[in-house]
Every structure is written in structure tokens, then in C-alpha cells.
Chain A
Amino acid sequence: MAEAHPVGFQYVVEAKNRGAKVIHIDPRFTRTSALAHSYVPVRAGADIAFLGGVINYILGNEKDFREYVLSYTNASMLVNEDFKDTEELDGLFSGYDPELNTYDQSSWQYLGQQDEGQEEGEAHADRETASGLEQESHGPPVPADVPRDPTLQDPRCVYQVLKRHYARYTPEVVERVCGVPQDKFLEVCEAWTANSGRERTTALVYSVGWTQHSVGVQYIRAGAIIQLLLGNMGRPGGGVMALRGHASIQGSTDIPTLFNLLPGYLPMPHHSQHETYRQWIDAIRHPEQQGFWANAESYAVNLLKAYYGENATKDNDFGYGWLPRLTGDHGTYQQVLDMIDGKIKGYFLLGQNPAVGSAHGRAQRLGMANLDWLVVRDLFMIESATFWKDGPEVATGEIVPEECKTEVFFLPAASHAEKEGTFTQTQRMLQWREKAVEPPGDCRSELWFFYHLGRIMRERRAGSIDKRDQGLLNLAWDYPLHGERGDEPSAEAVLKEINGYEIATGRPLSAFTEMKPDGSTAGGCWIYTGVYKDGVNQAARRKPRTEQDWVAREWGWAWPADRRTLYNRASADPEGRPWSERKKYVWWDEDAGEWTGYDVPDFEKTKPPSYRPPEGATGVEAISGDDPFIMQGDGKGWLYAPSGLIDGPMPTHYEPAESMIRNPLYGQQANPTRKVYERSDNLTNPSPPERHSEVYPYVFSTSRLTEHHTAGGMSRQLAYLSELQPEMFVEVSPELAAERGLEHLGWAHIVTARAAIEARVLVTDRLTPLRIEDRTVHQIWMPYHWGGEGLVTGDSANDLIGITLDPNVLIQESKVGTCDIRPGRRPTGPELLAYVQGYRDRAGLTPGHRTPILTTEVDEPEDS
């Protein structure tokens, strides 16, 4: 965190000065470790074994916050009798289909709900469209009237299922799998549990490299399970905090730059699953469902009204037919492979430098070299704009500049100080940003670019009767212009549209509950409603924290409804009283008959804790007065996910897609549902039980340095930052240096099945070998900031990484892989290709080689 988020780390330092204990768990000793009380080295890619060990410690020692767990989680709910665990099936859950590599999730359901689960075909489509987790955010179809055992003794209740699942994750196993000595591991367990409960809370903070694994979503799930068991969710000082990698990555998920989502986490329609407007709406809101997604039709209609204005009417389903449709996997990696295959002709790149920043740099560059046109908008001439003339493939002869057909349009972009708008940070807080200076020369904001691009395209296609043009032509594309040139769309006007307004009067809405499904209101992102409440830009509020209470509600604006802590109903006990005076946050005021507290209650204001839904209630009405997790179908925090996750209801330790270790826990080596692209240009290093894993005998990981920004586009062009970290380097332990003959400050090259790159060697005590099973495992680490452009240049670490994805959200496994490291520089020119090929040959990665996905036996279900 100190490494990649130094500004945010000031609050950790502040907490430390006030007595908080800071523990840092990381494969290498970083600047964060330097400030932590305790540093725990761990093997990259073994996190679920570690966290599973913590869960086992909690359950085995009954350290859970029992009253919280009983009331606010699904611990007491009974699971289907047909459910079989990985402990019984050697690393698979029940329902695995070896043909599609997905699960029939019927058996994962609660007792009596067998028919509700996804079948393997649906799960397959969900993986293709990255909509597994949409299920979670939309609340999968789970009824509330599930049989429960409040004593938690029934062997089928979630609590017992969880306990059995993690029973083998003992401190000894954690030591064997993760390389963490038992006393260090127990220190973490004891600190975490001792600092949780009524009086105290613990925060789990991760940087988003944690998600970049073939089981990335389950990493986060494992953290969430611990926090739920210890009562650390919805309470001050608790939570699972994702430190997002850029200034507004949270914002670009809320109002997404993702292929599978529309603003406010509404799913992008699928061509066959959501043929009609009604199918689409019902797939989001699930009739019979409880919770706030029941009002999804309002959110969807308001979005369509914001898109299409008066052209969206009840009679044409508010223009639903004009929305684009998903036909399968349109994720960024599928697109790159489609570019290589010539299926994609044109590409826009904004604020992204995939030639350096994305996994498998060679595939990225070869893909872009096979386009007809490419538009790059950036502050500087980045590698993704120049790969065709001086990229690494030009040196190897794979790209010939004279023959590369891609026409690259480089458009200079305005920087954050040269344009107005909002950033949404990790607390879901929007902060307004003024324009400090006019952008120089031809530099323009994204808002300017897209507004005028849309305007010109609409002019070009005006009067067209082509079906494909109707979505464009029916857009409401009118924004007031201002600024020195008089052509800059007003960002405040856009924010107002996002907030939503009453169409007849123009009055800004103050809450998403005011949104109507009849077309009388319009709003671009329902969760952002309230940010322009009373016609005031709430995101621009800047009252210093010294002038208000510690929740600081008058700084910026947080969605939803300006709630600073989500699900904060859980900060009070089931009767609505604070769990403790010390951790008082939101509570029920009996006399006033309403919820009150330091924060905006994340609950219906006047629904008393004693409220119980009437028989047959649905939607918001069906949420009990003691169900804090109001977006979930059952109002509970899920220790066990009966549906919604493609790779299993509970996190399970799988080895990374590339590992030199045979999974010590299960016959199933790696995530059996991971998304793979088996192609000769995307080879995977062999892992046990395959032979030849010793060809790539070391674990490597990559991450950031404080001194540079991601792919370097914003830092390698600046002398003051470049001088601070002027060269690509690789960090190795003294022990590995001795083993491979690497010299401090000498050259070394690192080889995987994709590439060989070179770097200067830093031999450092900050890296340590780990003992895994009966062997010593060395980990090496590299920053990924370098490329061929800028003041300081070097090989790019992401060239080493292949494309293997998490099945739920299609994020790449880019934080762990296997490699070899050798002293000296890599070969250059065509010899480099031959050198990498030599490794592939020795590793048995011959033509037609396929990485086995299933490495254990599947029992055919008897009754299917």
C-alpha cells in the first residue's frame, strides 16, 4: 500500500500512531512491510490456503462473533443434501461437467431450492460474458424462507459445511503450502481475531493485484468470509478495502468501461437470454425476489430515458431495442486474440497502454499490428502508438514497419489538471475536480472527444434508415458547451444527467427512490442519484475534516445516497442498538421511530428492527428489520454462495495456472473452471502433474514501484520520476543469486513460454526463499513499468505473462507465474525467438500440446 498508494497510506500511519497494529502479508518485503509491525512472507498464488487457514482457526476455536454471524449471515441456512464438497471430490465441487469445464450448480443450493441453480450451459454463457458476479450484485434468485438451524449444529448448515471445508487448512498445511512459519501464521490469526468483536474491528486492505489470479474472485471471497465471521462488515474500522489502481477505477466500474455492464451495474443485454425488454428486466429484478434490485425496472427505464430522451417511450420499450447485445466473450483478451485473427478492424485506446500494461505484451502488439485503424488518446507518445515502428517485434522481424497496415491516429489528451469532472475513489466517493489550466495545443478532454465524435457521427448518418444507425441517431445528444473555445461540454450538466431529474420540471432527483418506471424521470446511473441533490454539486463539497466529525460527510459525496459505510445497519445489533459504545455508528432511535447515527443509515429510515415481512412479500417489503445486507436476495452476508460464482460456493486452494508445486491439498491442480485460450501464441508453462515444470523452476510476480505509474506513460516521460527508478530491474534473494550466478547490478534475463526479457539484477535481502513441501521455492519480483518509449526504457515484464483468466470476471492471472532466470542479457533479433522456442521444446510445449484442465477423476453423478 505504501508502495502503490503512498497518499492513502498516511491513514495507516495515522492509525499506527494511534495504536493500531499493522500486519503486512506479501511475497516480498516492501515499503509497506518497512512500516508494518509484522511482515509475513508468503508464496505468490497461495492466498486461499492462508486465508482458509484463518477461517479454520476462527471456526476451530469458535472465535467468530456468534451473535453477528447468526443474525446477519447465512450461517444457519441448510444446504442441499446433494451438495458434495472439494474435500470429498478431490478438489471439485458436485456438478462438474468435464466437457464445458463448468458446474451444474443445482446441488449447491439451499435445501429445497435445487431447481434454482444454474445449469452448466448457463454457467458457461455466464463465463463467456463475465456475468457470474453480476448475479451477486443483482442478488441471485434466493428466497428467504430457507430452512435454518439456529443452533448451527445441523451438519448441513452453512456453518458446519464451512467448518468441514476448511478443516484441513491447519497451521501445518498453511506452512507447507504458503511457506509461512506456523508461529507467524498464528500471530496473524490471534491478532485478527483479538481485534474483532463488539469493541473492536479490523480492516482488510488489498491492492488490486490480489484480484489478478485465476481464482481472483475467490481470494476476495475468502477475505469477505473472514470479515463476516468476525463481524467486521458494515461497521466502522472494518470492511474489505480494494485499493483501486487508478484515480477513478471505481468510477469506471460504476459507469463502466466494461463490455458486460451498463451504468449502475445493470447487465448488458445478451442477444438470446434477453431478447425482450421484459426478459431483460426480469433477469435483473427476479420477481419474487426481496431486496432493492426489485426496483430494477425504474433504474433501467431511467437509464434508457437518459440515453434516448424523448425518443424513449413506453411504446418502444424506452428504446431497449437500440441497445447493443452481447453475443459471447467480448473481453479485452478475447478482443486481442480476435485482432490477431483479423476479426476486429478498428480499436480505440484511451488512457491505456496495453503494449506494456496488459498481460502477454507480444499478443497485444501483434493484435494491434493487424488492425485497419487504431485511435490512441494519451498524454504522450506511448508504446501502444509506436509498436509498429520500434516495438520488440520489429527487432525480431515479426512486425515489418513498411508492411504494417495499421493506421494509427494519435490524439493528444488533456491531463487531469486540464479538465473538469469527478473521480470516484475506493470508498465510492465522488470528488469534483476543477480545471486548473487550459489544456495546451490540441490536447482535449475525453468529454470533448466523445461529445464531438458523437456529434459528427450523427451528422454523417443523419436520415439513415439503417437499423444499426438508429441507436446513434436516437440518442439525446445535447449538452451545453462552455470554456475558452466555447466547445467544451459542461461536465456539471453531465453529472446532473447522471444524477437524474424530473423530465417535466427539470428538478434534480434527490434519491433513487424517486425514480419512476413510467418515463417521467430520467437518470444515467441510479446509484449516483443524489450527487446533484437540490441542484447542488455535492461532489464538490470540501469541508476540511478538522471542521466536522470523523465521518466527514461534508467532503465529496459517496454512493449510494451519500452512505460512507455500506451495509451500516450491521453496525447495530439485531435490536438496533450499537454493538458497543466504542463502535457506535448507526442505530435505531426508538423515540423518533427512525434509524439515525453518524452516517446515512443504509436501511429504510423508518423500518424498525422488529419488522418482519408479511407472508409472500417481495422486494424491499420483504427485507426484515434485522437484515442488513439489503442488496442480497436474502438480506444476509454470504459465508457460502449457493449461486452466482462459477468456480464454487466456497474458496478452495488451487495452485496458480503455472506452478512448480503439485497441489498439496487436492488432485485437482488449478481452478477447474478457469478461462483458457488454448492457442499456439498463448502457451502455458507446464505445471504438475504435467512433466517438465522444472524448465521454469522459479515463481515470479510483478507489481508497481512508488516512483512510476503502471505502464509508465505518465512517469517515464518525466525526468524527476525517471531518475528515481531509471532502469528495469529484477529482485532476487541472495540465495537465488548464488544458485544462478547472478551478480548485483549485473544483467539477467527471465524466460517464460511467451518471452524472454532482460533486466538489471538487484540482489536483496527483501526477498526470501520459502520452504514449500520438501523443497525450497525461490520467488523473483519485477516492476512492470518499462517499455520502449520515454526517457528511460527497458523490457516489459508483462511480456512474460500468458492469458489465463478468472472465470467470474475474466481478469487475467498476471501476478504469479513460473519462469527461469539466467545471468547475462537475452539474445536479440530472430535469435530471441529461437531461444524462447528452445525452452518451449524442452518443456514439451510442442504443437498440439494442451494444458490439462482437469487433473483428478470426475465421478459421474448417479442421478443426473
Chain B
Amino acid sequence: MAGPNSFYGPLDPAPDAGYVDAPPRMGFFTDTSVCIGCKACEVACKEWNLVPDDGFNLLGTSYDNTGGLTANSWRHVAFIEQPAAGSGHGTDTPGAFAGMPTGPSASAHTAVVAAGTSQDTGTDPGVPAAPDALAAAATITAPGTQFLGMPGADLPGRTMDAPRSDFRWLMMSNVCKHCTHAGCLDVCPTGALFRTEFGTVVVQEDICNGCGYCIPACPYGVIDQRKDDGRAWKCTLCYDRIGDGLTPACAKACPTESIQYGELDELRSRAAHRLEKLHEQGVAEARLYGHDPNDGVGGDGAFFLLLDEPEVYGLPPDPVVTTRDLPDMWKRAGVAALAMAATIVVSFAGRRR
């Protein structure tokens, strides 16, 4: 389907970019089922690549305080707290919070007692009684069985209307996908973005002029401009390490081999094997993402094993290279221009008559 210099479909990007005797395509396989969210990848990446910090901001999105892939975070660990009703996911064990009570911290009886005794005991100064202990006690019908909701305390997107009984905490180290068809690279006017002999996509910081075309071109929202210098930055798949036969910093630092680096073909078969094993173990929700050369970007150089829908991790479910339709668009624009020219020619020709 994909011819030479195609913007779409499966192909081997390095030879396609003109490399003769290119080495095998290298990539990442990030297996989120063994990620422990330690963020060693984020730190190792910054240490090696001298990436500045992303600011000290408590974001409140679970344990994620860097927020996403940015010019200053080339690896990013997402944390997804996922409450659910029902028993243990995919197993016959009880869910993490099965049988746990909900509601306020006292039975009706003890709440009344507590509210009474937390009045001034005659040894001022004191603090006011718990404002809602009595109110809470009044709402109780049977201790610990009624879900009272969480006024003012809801987590974003949490729409449970039954007591949570199961729970998952998903963690995933995200990174540039090093697409087979990289929109960022296609639109770069300066040639700062280029395809390496390993099939990866790298920005050359001394050439980037900060035009920013690449930013909307990325279907994953990965590449980003640094605010102070305007240039575009992203993961290089440690181009300066892999050329010397070294493992990229993040994969080297990962303690649980959640991030695996290697030849893409080998990683794809490893991932298929791992998926099969997880399915055997009853983890039916495991799936691969970005591994398929027939997807909208021709397959990713960095692909993932996920435990839920891609949207849950903030990944587009069906990414398509933004330049896929460029040839068609040029064709149509060309046809339109020709038609316009013909009209003009015709109209001028008509006047001469």
C-alpha cells in the first residue's frame, strides 16, 4: 500500500529516508503492567539529556506532578486512580476495597457522644466541635452501608454512585512514539527534525528556528516548544547513546523492565508473547497500543502494553498522521489552481474575441 516516500501505511522508515544499509529499526516497548510509577525514567532522561525541571507544582492528579509530555519532560509517568464496583478485576479474588465501609467516622451513637464531648470541657481556649458530626449522625440509617457522596471533594471524573469495592492504580510511562510516519518531521520547514538511521525522529536543537509547525502536526501532542527559547524539544530515543551501543537512559534506569529497548521487530514479538501470557493469567483487559504497522501512523517506534482503553491514559484511540491527506490535498489544490488558471485563461481569451 505504501510506496516510496509515502505519507501513510507500513514501511521501514530509515531506508525510506534514504539510508543505505541502515541498522535495524530501534524502539521502546513500554509494558505498563509492570510499571511501579517510580519515575526513574523521568529523572534518568533529564539527567542524561540535561532537560530543565518542569517547575514545582502540586497538580493533584494522583502522584503525577509533571503533568504530561512537554519540552521539559520527555518521559512522563501517568497515574490513573480507577475506582470500580464489583470484585477483583479478572480474578476470583475479592476487590481491593470489597467490604469496606463508607460514610462518617462514627456510628450514630458514637457520633452523638463525640459531638457532645468535643464541646468546651471547661479548659479554654478550645476549638469548636466538629461542625457536621451531629449532622452526619442524623443522616445515618445503618452504620456504614449508605454511600453519602462527597460534597466538595469529588475527584475529577469520578462519577461513582455505588460504594467502591474494587480499585486499580494504573501507571504508564509515556514517551514520543517515533512514528513510522512522523507528522512533525513532515512539516518541519528547516530540516531540524530528521529521521535517524535507527528509524527514530530527532530534533536538532541548533537548526530548529522555533516556527512551531511541528506542534499541531503531532497526533499524540508530544512535541512541545520550550517557553524561554521557543524551540521544539522531545525524546531523541537517546540518539547519542544508542549510536554508541548504549541503552537509552530511561530504559537503563527502569527497575522492573517496564521500559524495554531493542530492535523493533524483536520488541513486537516479545510484546505479543507477553500479551498472550497476561491473557492466560486472566488479565483480559491487556492490549497493545501503537504496535500495528497498519495503524494511522504506520506503527510506532515506541509502543505500549496497556491495561485499559488508550483514552484512560490520555492517548488518542486511533491516531492518524496529520499529513496523511497531504498528497490528496496538494492534488486537489493543484486541480483547483489549474482550473482557476484555465478560467482566467479562458476569460482573457474570451475578451480578445
Contact = CB atoms under 8 A, between A and B. Distances in A.
A9 interface: yes
Interface in B148-174: 148-155, 158, 164, 167-171
Interface stretch (A215-223, A544-552, A716-724): A716-724
Contacts of A707: 39, 63
B24 interface: no
A775 interface: yes
B125 A834 contact: yes
Contact of B99 (A32, A184, A724): A184
A131 B344 CA distance: 104
A765 B155 contact: yes
A442 B232 CA distance: 40
A742 to B, nearest CB: 7
A791 B130 CA distance: 36
B94 A187 contact: yes
A776 B93 contact: no
Contacts of B131: 741
A736 B105 contact: yes
A698 B106 CA distance: 11
A17 interface: yes
B107 A776 contact: yes
B114 interface: yes
Contact of B150 (A720, A727, A738): A738
Interface string A712-748: 0000000111111111010000111111111111000
B107 A774 contact: yes
Contact of A745 (B46, B53, B60): B60
A29 B83 CA distance: 12
Interface string A534-545: 000000000000
Contact of B153 (A7, A695, A743, A776): A743
Given A6-B38, A39-B96, A766 B169 contact: yes
Contacts of B98: 181, 183-184
Contacts of A590: none
Interface residues of B, number: 78
A744 B171 contact: no
A744 B155 contact: yes
A724 B39 contact: yes
A844 B118 CA distance: 11
Contact of B167 (A766, A838, A841): A766
B63 to A, nearest CB: 7
Interface stretch (A114-122, A382-390, A756-764): A756-764
A762 B60 contact: yes
Interface string B58-86: 10101101100000000000000101000
A31 interface: yes
Contact of A842 (B93, B123, B144): B123
A189 interface: no
A843 to B, nearest CB: 8
A706 B253 CA distance: 14
A741 B130 CA distance: 10
Contacts of A694: 113-114, 117-118
Contacts of A846: 123
A763 B132 CA distance: 18
Nearest to A763: B153
A581 B16 CA distance: 56
30 contacts: A2-B36, A9-B36, A9-B255, A10-B257, A31-B37, A31-B171, A33-B169, A38-B88, A38-B93, A698-B105, A705-B63, A707-B39, A720-B53, A723-B54, A724-B65, A729-B58, A735-B148, A735-B150, A738-B151, A765-B155, A765-B164, A765-B167, A766-B81, A768-B97, A769-B100, A769-B101, A792-B56, A834-B125, A841-B123, A844-B123
Interchain residue pairs A-B with the least CB separation, the first 3 = A181-B99, A841-B123, A726-B56
Interface of A: 2, 6-7, 9-10, 13, 17, 29, 31-35, 37-39, 41, 179, 181, 183-184, 187, 691-692, 694-695, 697-698, 705-707, 719-727, 729, 734-745, 760, 762-766, 768-771, 774-778, 791-792, 822, 834-835, 837-839, 841-842, 844, 846
